[in-house]
Every structure is written in C-alpha cells, then in structure tokens.
Amino acid sequence: MKMYVGGAWTEGAARTAVRNPFDDSIVDTVPVAAPADIETALASAVRGARAMKAMPAHRRADILAAASLALRARAQEFAVILTREMGKPIAESRGEVGRAAQTLLLASEEAKRATGEMIPLDAAPGGEGKLGFTVRIPCGVVLAITPFNFPLNLVAHKVAPAIAAGNAVIVKPATNTPLSALKLTELLLDAGLPPEAIQCVTGGGATVGKQLCTDGRVRKISFTGSRDVGAAIMHIAGLKRVTMELGSNSPLIVMPDADVTQVALATAATGYTNAGQSCISTQRVLVDRTIYEAFLDAVTPMVEAISTGDPLEESVRMGPMISEAEAARVQSWVDEAVHGGARLVVGGERDGAIHRPTLLADVDPTLRISREELFGPAVAVTTFEGIDEAIALANDSRYGLGAGIFTENIRWAMEFVRRVDSGNLMVNWAPNWRADLMPYGGLKDSGIGKEGPKYAVQEMTETKMVVFH
C-alpha cells in the first residue's frame, strides 16, 4: 500500500514489509517516510487545519457518520486485514471493526456538542453587568501515534475525535500494523474529509515519530503505547498538549464470597484475549486464601480449552503474538517466575510466535511477572488474607490503568473503589472491559488524560474566555 501525505497517495523512496505473525508471510509493503515526506505532511496538515476550522460542525458530523456506515459495510474486508497484519482471531477482528464503527459514530455526535459555558462574572466583585462565556476552538494539528494491538479501533479513537473537534490529524500507525490505518484513511477521504485534513505516515517511530513529535506545528499529541516510549515523547515534545495511554499490570481481586465459576470464566475471557496483548488484560489474580484452590480447580480446564492456531480459522480462540521475539520474551518471564517458586499449572511453551495460554499459581508478588507489564498470554495467581492486603497488593505497581474485584459485599466493593489506584475499576468483572463511549485513562505511570470521543474532543480543543463589558 501507499502512504497518504500532502493530499496524495505516495510510494516513498524506500519500503518495508508487513508480515503475518502467524506464518511470517508478507501481507503487503508500505513506504518508509523520509524527512522530506514528513515535512510535506506537516505543511499539508497546517493547511488542512485551516480547512477543518472553517468547516461547520454538522459537516464534520456527517463525514464521520458516513465513514461509520461505510466501515460497517466493509466489515469483513477490514477484519481480514486486521487478522493478517496483527494475528488476532477473526472473531476478535470482527468485534474490533464493529467497535471502530461505533467510535466513529460516537465522535460524529460529539462534533455537535463541543460547547463552552456561561461564566457568572457577577459572582466576583467588579463583575456586575458583564457577560462572560467560554468558546472551544480546535488545537490545530493533532498527531496520533497508535499501537499494534488494536490497529483499527485505537486509530479511530484518536482520528475521529480530532476531526469532530475541527482539527487536522497526522496518523503515525505502528510499524507492524499500518494497513488498517491506511484503509481507514482511504475510507474517511471517500466519506468527504478534505484531502489535507488527514495524513497517514508510515515508518519507524524512532525516526518518523521523533521528527513529528518535536515539530512546533503539532499542537496536540495523542499516544498509546509503552510507558518508556511515552516518557521519551514527553521529554522531547515541548509545549504541546498531550494524552498518554501507557502500560498496565492489571489486578483482579477475588474476595471469599465470590462465585469462583464466574471468576474463572472472567479470567479465561480477559487474560488471553488478543493473546494477552491488551493494556488492561488481566495479568494478576489475587485470590483469598479460603477459596484459592477452588478457583484454580475451576479456571484450569477453561484455560486448557483455549484453542490456538491460524487466526483466520473460525474455531481458533487465540492466535500468535505480534512476533516470535515477543513470544520468546513472554516465555522467558514465565521461566523466570517458575525459577522464582511459581507453580506452572497450564502452558509455558511456545511454537514460533504462538505462546500457549499459561496459568501460574503461588506467584511471589515481588516477581517481575507480578510487577511489570507482561503484555502476553499468561496470568499469575497469588493469595491474600483480608481486603487490606488485597488492596495493598493491587496497588503495589507503578501502573494504574485497570483493576477488578469480585464480591457481593458492598463495603469491600467501596473500599476497592476508594483505595485502588486505577483509572478504570470493574466491580464483579475483570479489568479487561471497555465501552468506547466511557472516559478511559490511567493513573500513575499508566498515563495522562482521557480517551472516549466526548473526553477526547475536550482534550483536542482549547478554551477562549470572552468577556463583554
């Protein structure tokens, strides 16, 4: 495929292959943007921002709504692209396409609601007889840097609110998974988006991303990815608005009154989706000592039943990781945990890029698999005694994106809500749950700012204060 720069589809001087992580076959090739291409994209985006600022809200809404309908009509085409470039099972890819269409539609509605507010100036001495109100204006040029794990919906979560707010947007998709972002760019242009309102620039983050992040014409950066890359972007970005959706180490607390069958179902459903490559994937299960063995007995056969293989086959529930190197890394973390005293209950092996769904019991909470972001298909189980120890273990991480608890005790549930340091809290479900309309973001090293179309529009606009004297 070509990249979209300066209002035109272009080949670029060099190209790189996009590979299917299941069999390492070449899916397609994309350009590697050179510095001149990036300069063209930036200059074009500035012009596009002027065009978008002048476009009425109802027109922006119509474009996004038309794109949503078009995406639904081409759902199977997009799902196959997702599975081939990323490796998630085809059923999960269809789900992601449906969510992306919903995200576009939600953003189209928010285009009509980007309002300011009246300010009661007469509440201040000297404010009598004055009229005050705020006006929201677009930032200008928004840079969207997206990850490989949800290469369509997470692009939609950045691009659609940027358009809704009246900005131009430069998309820098993940190097491994650029194809769905390029296809979404094509779809938005077909829906009527002005030619210079979007750029989709492909290439490596260390070069392409750095040039884009440091340029003063970019007024807003929305990044989803690792904590370390996010910190590096913050260091070089300068005086820009930023949204950072970073890593996690999501805990699930299981209190003694929980239904262990329901907990087991939730763990199997949320610890291995997308081969565990989700920021809020259930990574740690903290189980009260009195029901610990019962939980392990319930969850073990469910994890064993997760089928792996070619993700284009309908029966496969878990496909490969994004690369063999990542699968090898997960295996090394699992081996390290076993050497540190953990008990391997299920899995632990890999075949190329496929790492078998893995369950570890008796995990020491000081081990790396309990403290850092694994981003792979392994779940670590640890015991606790009492709500205070459970919350202390849940908070014993630099991350704070998602957390869950299973309990019927309202006091325990409220203790969890008040005291667990996480941006997304699930009561009677596991951490890995998100509705695309909700405010989504983390605490601590998990990030800054919120996504969800309503909240992203706020992040992608600036406020003017107006006073009539």
CATH code at position 193: 3.40.605.10
112 in a domain, yes or no? Answer: yes
Compute the average pLDDT of residues 356-365.
98
The pLDDT of residue 82: 98
For residue 272, give both structure tokens: 């291995």
Establish whether 304 is a catalytic residue. no
The pLDDT of residue 205: 86
- pLDDT interval class at 207 (50, 70, 90): confident
Rounded Cα distance, 153 and 158, in Å: 9
Name the catalytic one among 245, 326, 373, 451.
245
For residue range 407-439, list pLDDT tens digits in order: 999 999 999 999 999 999 999 999 999 999 999
Name the catalytic one among 196, 279, 451, 459.
279
Q: Give the residue carrying structure tokens 């190197």.
A: 325
Instruction: Indicate whether 270 and 134 sit together in one domain.
Output: no
For residue range 387-402, list pLDDT tens digits in order: 999 999 999 999 999 9
441 in a domain, yes or no? Answer: no
Compute the average pLDDT of residues 294-310.
98
Identify whether the C-beta of residue 242 lies closer than 8 Å to the C-beta of residue 393.
Answer: no
52 in a domain, yes or no? Answer: yes
- Tally of domains within the chain: 2
The pLDDT of residue 206: 85
* pTM tops 0.85: yes
For residue 420, give both structure tokens: 């667990």
354-355 and 350-351 as β-strands: parallel, antiparallel, unpaired? antiparallel
Identify whether the C-beta of residue 319 lies closer than 8 Å to the C-beta of residue 309.
Answer: yes
The pLDDT of residue 335: 98
Rounded Cα distance, 312 and 93, in Å: 10
Instruction: Indicate whether 392 and 453 sit together in one domain.
Output: no
Instruction: Indicate whether 286 and 232 sit together in one domain.
Output: no
Instruction: Indicate whether 408 and 459 sit together in one domain.
Output: no
Instruction: Indicate whether 9 and 127 sit together in one domain.
Output: yes
Instruction: Indicate whether 174 and 298 sit together in one domain.
Output: no
Instruction: Indicate whether 219 and 279 sit together in one domain.
Output: no
330 in a domain, yes or no? Answer: yes
Establish whether 117 is a catalytic residue. no
Q: Give the residue carrying structure tokens 């994937």.
A: 281
Instruction: Indicate whether 215 and 337 sit together in one domain.
Output: no
Q: Give the residue carrying structure tokens 């035109």.
A: 8
Instruction: Indicate whether 313 and 299 sit together in one domain.
Output: yes
Quick count: other Cβ atoms within 10 Å of Cβ 216?
Answer: 10
440 in a domain, yes or no? Answer: no
Instruction: Indicate whether 256 and 146 sit together in one domain.
Output: no
**What's the domain range around 323?**
251-435
CATH code at position 284: 3.40.309.10
464 in a domain, yes or no? Answer: yes
Instruction: Indicate whether 178 and 194 sit together in one domain.
Output: yes
126 in a domain, yes or no? Answer: yes
How many degrees, rounded to 5, is the angle at CA 279 between CA 277 and CA 285? 90
Rounded Cα distance, 88 and 310, in Å: 9
Instruction: Indicate whether 417 and 269 sit together in one domain.
Output: yes
For residue 342, give both structure tokens: 């953990």
